[in-house]
Copies of this chain bind each other. A is one copy, B any other.
Amino acid sequence: MGDDLRSLGRDGDLRAIRAMLSAMRDVPAVVDELERQDATTRAVAFRSLPKDLAVAVFEDFDPSLQSDLITELREDAGDLILALDPDDRAGVLGELPASVVRRLLTGLDPDERAKTTALLGYPPGSVGRRMTPNVVTLPAGLSVGQALERVRALEPGAETIYTLAVVDPTRHLLGVVSLRRLMITSPTTDLSEITREPIQVSATDGQEEASRVVRDHGAVAVPVVDDENRMLGLFTVDDAMRVLEHEESEDIARTGGAEPLSKPYLATSVFGLVRSRIMWLLILVVAAMLTVNVLDYFEDTLTEVVSLALFVPFLIGTGGNAGAQAATTVVRAMAVGDAQLRDLGRVVGKEVVTGMLLGIGLGCVGFVAASIIVGTSVATVVALALVIVCTLATTAGSLTPMLARSAGVDPAVVSAPFITTFVDASGLIVYFLIARAVLGV
């Protein structure tokens, strides 16, 4: 179907595109289909959508694609921007050049403009950017019945009404009450009796951190406050889920030694893919030159016992795999909060022992295999080297991401590929030193 749509887009047959897209079951299906297209087809197809569907689809797009579309749809962009909630709007505007942002903001009414610029005032990546300011707050002192009246009156302008913030006259957050609780309580009860202490986040908190709070508490939404505990908005579970998905994609890309893509895969050009990877590859290539120098240094040993060379890729490949296992496990444990900086000693201790045990197991296998091919003396060198290389690999694999975190660097960035490169170079040194000792060359 993707290819059909692309050829329809090229032919500009708007009626056929509109028919095809409107036959799709629901908004996510249309979003999915459009995200698979190149930029031109996407714009053509998007223009052909009925107005209501277009707004709903636009809301669900990845922010990078939203800003692409706004650039494409110059004249119609104002309507789309107007249709978004303030938090989503801030997300799109954050990706656009300042001149375009100014033009678009001018098209908003003063109230919407104020809300949007307020959100844009928070640092990128903070909850402030992702919260919704369209919430229902309840002044303390109301009865449950009065509170329900207020919820009904303010509902049309609110993004969610399932979590209600109770505030004092200067908007300081006193607590929260769920719509559920409000519903089942007698209308004459005082609101304060069912108000509970809030789980809250600060507007300058990171989005990932706040999303984990939402998930760990199974919350539908959490209040966002400023430094003085004044209620600013709500951070909702649907936004939290998106943030977590985005962060996971970022971690996974970095685990593979690449920068995260800014757009969905199929919407990314070949040059976008090259750009996301070339920098890390170049850094790794420079690091890999270390292995050339190590081998150059041991060239005499190598010339004397050429069969040592046979096991070089085997040895460093296995070390790299053991290191990658340790690194991905530890990076993940830190990401989900299972391991923290204060656990450094326990984590590295576990990994040293694990690496040693794995090395002994693999060393036995390696010894048998190498004995058959090159005899027991080189096989002894290979087996001993495997034990040390595996231990080195799991140690580096656990230590590096934890040290990165303590230095404020994303642990995923320095994981597998970096550790592999380090293990390659140090593993070769170990291998040749053992070879010299055992073989007496």
Kindly identify, within residues 243 to 286 of chain A, every residue whose CB is under 8 Å from any CB belonging to chain B.
244-245, 248-249, 251-253, 255-258, 261, 264-266, 270, 273-274, 276-278, 280-282, 284-285
- Asked whether A428 is an interface residue with its Cβ less than 8 Å from the other chain, the reply is yes
What are 10 A-B interface contacts by the 8 Å CB criterion? A31-B216, A179-B179, A183-B183, A256-B324, A258-B328, A265-B347, A281-B321, A289-B314, A291-B313, A316-B317
Docked Cα-Cα span, A159 to B251, in Å, equals 34
Contact B266 A338 (CB under 8 A): yes
Which residues of A117-147 are within 8 A (CB) of B?
none
Interface string of A345-368 (1 = CB under 8 A from B): 011001101100110011001100
How far does the alpha carbon of A292 sit from the alpha carbon of B368 in the complex, in Å? 14
Contact call A362/B314, Cβ cutoff below 8 A = no
| Cβ of A188 under 8 Å from chain B | no
What chain B residues lie within 8 Å of A148 (beta carbons)? 183
Is A47's beta carbon under 8 Å from chain B? no
A265 to B266, CA, bound (A): 35
- CB within 8 Å for A428 and B313 given contacts A32-B337, A321-B257, A343-B2: yes
Which B residues lie within 8 Å of A251 (CB)? 252
Inside 8 A of A232's CB, which chain B residues have their CB?
none
- Asked whether, in the complex, the Cβ of A238 is within 8 Å of the Cβ of B253, the reply is no
B36, B217, B248: the one within 8 Å of A248 (CB): B248
A295 at the interface (CB under 8 A from B): yes
Interface residues of A (CB under 8 A from B): 1-2, 26-28, 31-32, 35-36, 60, 148, 151-152, 155, 161-162, 179-180, 183-184, 199, 214-218, 220, 237-238, 240-242, 244-245, 248-249, 251-253, 255-258, 261, 264-266, 270, 273-274, 276-278, 280-282, 284-285, 288-289, 291-292, 295-296, 299, 302-303, 306-307, 309-314, 316-318, 320-322, 324-325, 327-333, 336-339, 342-343, 346-347, 350-351, 353-354, 357-358, 361-362, 365-366, 369-370, 373, 416-417, 420-421, 424, 428
Number of copies: 2
A249-B332, A261-B329, A306-B299 known; A291+B270 contact, CB < 8 A? no
Question: Which residues of B have CB within 8 Å of A257?
Answer: 321, 324-325
Question: Given A180-B155, A184-B152, A256-B255, does the pair A317, B2 have CB atoms closer than 8 Å?
Answer: no
Q: Which of B249, B258, B420 contacts A325 (CB 8 A)?
A: B258
Q: Please measure, in the bound complex, the distance between the C-alpha atom of A266 and the C-alpha atom of B36, giving whole angstroms.
A: 41
| Complexed CA–CA distance, A291 and B318 (Å) | 12
Closest chain B residue, CB of each to CB of A317: B288
Residue on B nearest A334 in the bound complex, by CB: B265
Most chain-B Cβ atoms within 10 A of its Cβ — which of A152, A276, A314, A343? A314
- Determine whether the beta carbon of B266 is less than 8 Å from that of A346: yes
Given A199-B26, A288-B318, A312-B312, also A264-B333 (CB < 8 A) = yes
Q: How far is the CB of A149 from chain B (nearest CB, A)?
A: 11
Q: Which residue of B lies closest to A181 (CB)?
A: B155
A310 is contacted by which of B184, B295, B351 (Cβ under 8 Å)?
B295
